Structure 1
Amino acid sequence: MARTLLDLLYDEAPRADFDRLVEEAGDDPDARRSYDVALRLRELIARQRSREAELSALYDTASDLTAIRDVNAILSAIVRRARQLLKADMTYLSLNDEGEGASYMKVTDGALSAEFRTLRLPLGTGLLGLVAQTGAPYFTSDYQHDERFVHRRFVDDAVAGEGIRAILGVPLVVEGRVIGALLATHRTVRPFPPEEVSLLTSFAAHASVALENARLFADLDEANAQLRAQAEAVEEAARAHDQLTGLLLHRSTLAEVVAVLGEVLGGSRVAVLDADGHVLAGDAAPGPGPGRAALDQAVASGHSVELDDGYLAPALAGQEHLATVLVHGGPRLDRAGRRTLERGAIVAGLVLLFARSVDEAEERLGGALLTDLIEGSEADPARLRQRARSQRLRLDAGCVVAVAEVPTGERHRAARAAARLARAAEGLAVEHRGRPVLLVPAHDDAQAVGQRLRAALAEACGEPVTLGVAPGPRHPVDGALPAAYDEARRCLEALLALGRVGECADPAALGVTRLLLGTSGPGELDDFVARALGPVLDHDRRRGTDLVTTLEAWFAEGGRSRAAAERLHVHPNTVAQRLDRVTELLGARWREPDAALDLQLALRVARLRSQQPAD
């Protein structure tokens, strides 16, 4: 079975082949588990290939910006690649005509009608006109029925003629000015996930750079006719741009970006700072760094700002401030030099985005490995060790498993913080069943390691974090990790049941308490009450009767009906009739010792859940 599933994975077989194979295996549980693992691997491989295709397309587009001077060819390539990667039915790019107050089609890919390729939309009309007017991205899963947009008959007719339903649009921005929009459409109703919005935004950024380059070269031609010196300066800026863009093609580091930028800016000293002002690469100027006002001005405008002793330029991705490029200690920068600085900031931002993509891919692979380890779903230890080596996992001296409970609103932040902590400790982290799970080397006892992890996660979330920890095996890839994970999870459940939120505990600290409290949650208690008492509760709810109270009184009086009647202030015949009804609902065995014990426990749990004291 496993060998056949691997063959299907290798052959990139369709999902139906996997389904047919597991159906042929019948009720074999091993076959079902292998099938589930194979489907997860198939999905992971597909996502990885998709991400590689996205990055490759972005690299190809960046290469085009250095190799192609025909802006129409660049824009056509961008629109075509965007359609391929987003698997859209049609993509198109529009440019604004400010004099007319409209946005017109510049490039389309996948359009069926000539009318659509020549469409002009007044600014603010439809989704395209709204994006082109506001400079903000918009998307809709079903445009014709979306009342957020201003609908015009001739626009809706053109959209209907193309069969368009779902639309995603992002702005084209040059020097802080919206010059048009890039859109992707589908002819079926569907949502747009964040990664598709981000990808189309990246292509829009390349389109903006292409248009900006076209404008710069037009300026260059005009300046060359007027002044040779100025033309030479602009040519130098273009060469610097090509040199900086070439760094992207070779997947260079921030340090290499800093070195090249310092050279092309006449020996200036260059530093790249993160959004909080910490140095990521290069040599920052002495002192407190750029002022908040100058930084806000640069971020708002998207351009460089002159300081008392240098210049700064922001690296932006949409509305996200990725980093700041600071230049000091060099010659005064002319217009071309400041443009070069701004391009350097764009390159630095792209390097950071690419690095982030690589980190996210590693986190996904590490999370998949940890999931397989704690679920015991990977049966080949040799394969597990190979995957662990690829993640630079260092657990030969033992490990600690930690399971965290965080406030619902902080789960994403906690998951990111857990990934950073695990990566720094040469361990792994994953969000498993709604909770962050960490596997880290055991440099100390489990409780001490857990206290440090709890404190770090709480600081990252700004909220109390509850943590259950357990010592893991010396070699976690050999199949013993699921038991350690279960121990840590039971410790966490016990802490939550005891109301000890914001604490950390291991098995030694909780003893047998974790076995009593760590396995049954609200769902299990609900199931128990429903099985033992459900028909009676439903009867009381529907008929307005009081069978539950009668049962409580009957058990409290040791099964004596007359005493129960006195306790309830009713006639003994009433109690007898009610108990007969209970027998109809639960069957004759409810009075037997085992069934009666379950029924009394269910009554007690139901009473405690309702927070109403018994009479």
Structure 2
Amino acid sequence: MHDDVDVGTGLLELLASGASAAELAALDVNPRARDLAIRISGAFDVQRRREQQLAALVDTAGELASMRDPSVVLDAIVRRARTLMGTDVAYLTLFDHDRGDTYMRATAGSVSAQFQVVRLAFGAGLGGLVAQSHKPYWTSDYFADSRFRHTHSIDGAVGDEGLVAICGTPLIVKHEFVGVLFASNRTPRPFTHDEVALLGSLAALAAVTIVQVQAAEEASRTLAALSNATDRVSHYAAGIERAAAAHDRFAEIVLEGGGVDDLTESLSQLLGGWALLLDLDGEARSIAGDAPPTGGALRRLADSVAGGVEGGRLSRHGDFWAIGIAAAGEPLGVLVVGEVSSMDDSDERTVERAAVVTALVLLGERNRAETRQQQRSDLVAGLVGGHGDLGLLLPTARSLGLDLREPACLLAVLGSEAATARSLVLAVNAALGGVGLVGEVDGHVVALVPGDDPGSAATDLAQRLSRSNVVTVGAAGPVSEAVGTLSPDLAAAHTEAVRTAEALEALGRRGDGAAATDLGFAGLIVGTQPEVTAYVHSVLGPLRDYDASRGTDLVGTLEAYFLAGASPRHAAGRLHVHTNTVAQRLERITRLVGEGWQSPERALELQLALRLRHLVGAIAH
């Protein structure tokens, strides 16, 4: 046991020091513990990689914010895209309003002169399809992909550059198509959804920056041409300064690890009035500024923007402005500002930039939360399935807030067919308030929560979730750690909890929660260790206690009654007493066990308990 603990402690120390998967694989330790450590290390690597990508995007935002020359900005965008995506080539095409096509404007890693001057008509090639549909497209082998309309000029330029795998995403600001950003490889390479989303985030940042730089350049020309319009120039310059200040402030928030509260607070300070962030359910995630809407006013505001706000486009709704928060086409929420005296182009750009940065922050928070939840799911699966070394798993569980040296209950949650396991995991986590461990095992949700009353824990969780989900919760336990083991076995408790939840649904109690012992005789079937004695006492206890204290035989009378086909007269014959005596005893039984005991369901429970008491007595002797 001490050796196992030492091994587990050693592995935890290696994980804490950032040991690589190769280093962990070379260790001569328990294979299951080593495999689990490698999986945890892999999860850490994924989290670090996502955080590095987010940091790189923030660095890009800071770099682009300091640039004013359009050509320098475009070169910086493709250079960053090539680095972030790890591809051979990155390039950017811009929309030509006069000719109605796109043309190559900036490249990084390109060696072909023909490729650097190619033009793409709408609908032609991968880039033309992106420009036409305003949606991202990607392929691991462009020439073998029949989704795109291949032309001689485009295929010739792509072939001259030697490109094979291509990913393109549109540059769009307020429904205005700006161009297309590409990342490509000279060898076949499948692009993952995370990579497409990363390129999409960079494209959103780049599109706003391009428009801002173009606007700033145009503003400079306008200022020179309108030198006599002092007031107008001063106002426009102040707007540019505000946009630059917002740029710097947003980048600073992200670099310092700030969250959405810092973003809404900064936005309200920059524009005046108030700012708030609504989640996809219309609930306020963050509120800042003077006199923001609350209560019914906030509910009406959320209703007015529900379904009517698009990502990347600022729109006015009465006295406030709203813009959808989205990344790679996935909605994340709505950013709303109000009580603003005026909203010029510069202020609109500020809100749009805030929306882009908010999307980056929300993506980062979600990625980190998903990584943490995956670690918890792996831990729950290891505990329940016995796939890991308890010497490693139990200390890890304690570090995550569940000390199995104290009693805990295992809950199995069955949702509707429409509910995904991921959404149900989030709902259960929220209902439990972060107490215990929640994970996905064999396609359903399992929770380990502190406590020694599984039935109450299951009922409470089902009731908490009933406001937003119809779930059935089966429970087992309690379980606890003892001398490096779990007693009873978690795998058996898991099986019993799942059976109990399925039995509840089969009994027409969908949406309820219970332990096997709460199901009456059905609990004897679903339980992995049926408590027959406890069941007999729960049904016949009042009668047995009465007989013991008064010297009567109500239990025997009840048994004789059932054996006589529920006939008091025949039961009296079996007991050798008068029929009135049986009738009086049956009235006493009714007072002790309650009305309705002769109904089919209650009678079945009583007869089964009467039969089982003989079995319990025989085993005891």
In structure 1, what is the equivalent of residue 459 of structure 2? Answer: 451
Q: 1:489 aligns with which of 488, 492, 495?
A: 495
The alignment's C-alpha RMSD in Å is 3.7
Give TM-score, length-normalised by structure 1: 0.71
Q: How far did 1:214 drift?
A: 0.8
Q: Which whole-Å deviations, capped at 9, do the CAs of 1:267-295 have from their partners, x for residues lacking one?
A: 31333333343222225326353376666
In structure 1, what is the equivalent of residue 213 of structure 2? Answer: 214
In structure 2, what is the equivalent of residue 513 of structure 1? Answer: 525
Answer with 477-486 or 368-377: which moved more. Answer: 477-486
Q: 1:268 aligns with which of 268, 273, 280?
A: 273
Could you tell me whether the CA contact under 8 Å between 1:59 and 1:248 is conserved in 2?
yes
Give TM-score, length-normalised by structure 2: 0.71
Distance 1:179 1:103 in 2: 9
In structure 1, what is the equivalent of residue 332 of structure 2? Answer: 322
In structure 1, what is the equivalent of residue 449 of structure 2? Answer: 440
Distance 2:501 2:528 in 1: 11
Give aligned-pair identity as a percent: 31
Distance 2:48 2:488 in 1: 30
In structure 1, what is the equivalent of residue 106 of structure 2? Answer: 107
Q: How far did 1:447 drift?
A: 1.7
Distance 1:145 1:409 in 2: 37
Q: How far did 1:77 drift?
A: 3.7
In structure 1, what is the equivalent of residue 170 of structure 2? Answer: 171
Q: Quick one: structure 1 residues 98 and 7, their matched pair in 2 at CA, closer, same or farther if it must change by over 3 Å? A: same
SS at match of 2:358: helix
Q: Quick one: structure 1 residues 75 and 358, their matched pair in 2 at CA, closer, same or farther if it must change by over 3 Å? A: farther
Distance 1:376 1:334 in 2: 62
Structure 2 counterpart of 1:222, which letter? R
In structure 2, what is the equivalent of residue 233 of structure 1? Answer: 238
Distance 1:485 1:14 in 2: 29
Distance 2:488 2:78 in 1: 48
In structure 2, what is the equivalent of residue 570 of structure 1? Answer: none
Could you tell me whether the CA contact under 8 Å between 2:81 and 2:199 is conserved in 1?
yes
Q: Which whole-Å deviations, capped at 9, do the CAs of 1:29-48 have from their partners, x for residues lacking one?
A: x7432342243134223212
Q: How far did 1:55 drift?
A: 1.5
Number of residue equivalences: 504
Matches within 5 A, 1:65-84: 65-84=64-83
Q: Quick one: structure 1 residues 400 and 300, their matched pair in 2 at CA, closer, same or farther if it must change by over 3 Å? A: same
Structure 2 counterpart of 1:171, which letter? P
Distance 2:32 2:366 in 1: 33
Could you tell me whether the CA contact under 8 Å between 1:92 and 1:182 is conserved in 2?
yes
Could you tell me whether the CA contact under 8 Å between 2:475 and 2:496 is conserved in 1?
no
Matches within 5 A, 1:131-530: 131-225=130-224, 226=226, 227=229, 228-238=233-243, 239-265=245-271, 267-282=272-287, 283-285=291-293, 287=297, 288-290=299-301, 298-299=309-310, 302-307=313-318, 309-376=319-386, 379=389, 381=391, 384-385=394-395, 388-389=398-399, 391-393=400-402, 398-406=407-415, 410-418=419-427, 420-421=429-430, 424-442=433-451, 445-455=453-463, 460=468, 465-474=471-480, 479-480=485-486, 483-493=489-499, 496=502, 499-500=506-507, 502=510, 504-509=513-518, 511-514=523-526
Answer with 500-509 or 109-118: which moved more. Answer: 500-509
Relative contact order higher in (CA < 8 Å, ≥ 6 apart): 2
Could you tell me whether the CA contact under 8 Å between 2:382 and 2:393 is conserved in 1?
no
Distance 1:304 1:90 in 2: 37
Could you tell me whether the CA contact under 8 Å between 1:394 and 1:426 is conserved in 2?
no
* Runs of 4 or more above 6 Å deviation: 3-11
Answer with 276-285 or 198-207: which moved more. Answer: 276-285
Structure 2 gap ranges (5+): 531-621
Distance 1:7 1:242 in 2: 39
Answer with 186-195 or 292-301: which moved more. Answer: 292-301
Verify: 1:64 aligned to 2:75, yes or no: no
Structure 2 counterpart of 1:147, which letter? S
Q: Quick one: structure 1 residues 394 and 388, their matched pair in 2 at CA, closer, same or farther if it must change by over 3 Å? A: closer
Q: Which whole-Å deviations, capped at 9, do the CAs of 1:353-390 have from their partners, x for residues lacking one?
A: 3322332232233333333433455547588536643x
Could you tell me whether the CA contact under 8 Å between 1:494 and 1:513 is conserved in 2?
no
Distance 2:464 2:152 in 1: 57
Distance 1:106 1:152 in 2: 20
Q: Quick one: structure 1 residues 175 and 257, their matched pair in 2 at CA, closer, same or farther if it must change by over 3 Å? A: same
Could you tell me whether the CA contact under 8 Å between 1:492 and 1:505 is conserved in 2?
no
Structure 1 counterpart of 2:293, which letter? A
Q: How far did 1:109 drift?
A: 3.0
Structure 1 counterpart of 2:342, which letter? R
Q: Which whole-Å deviations, capped at 9, do the CAs of 1:313-344 have from their partners, x for residues lacking one?
A: 33333433333333333423333333333333
Structure 1 counterpart of 2:31, which letter? R
Could you tell me whether the CA contact under 8 Å between 1:470 and 1:484 is conserved in 2?
no
Q: Quick one: structure 1 residues 200 and 459, their matched pair in 2 at CA, closer, same or farther if it must change by over 3 Å? A: farther
Distance 2:107 2:77 in 1: 10
Q: How far did 1:397 drift?
A: 5.3
Structure 1 gap ranges (5+): 519-615
Q: How far did 1:202 drift?
A: 0.7
Distance 2:120 2:73 in 1: 24
SS at match of 1:114: coil
Could you tell me whether the CA contact under 8 Å between 2:89 and 2:109 is conserved in 1?
yes
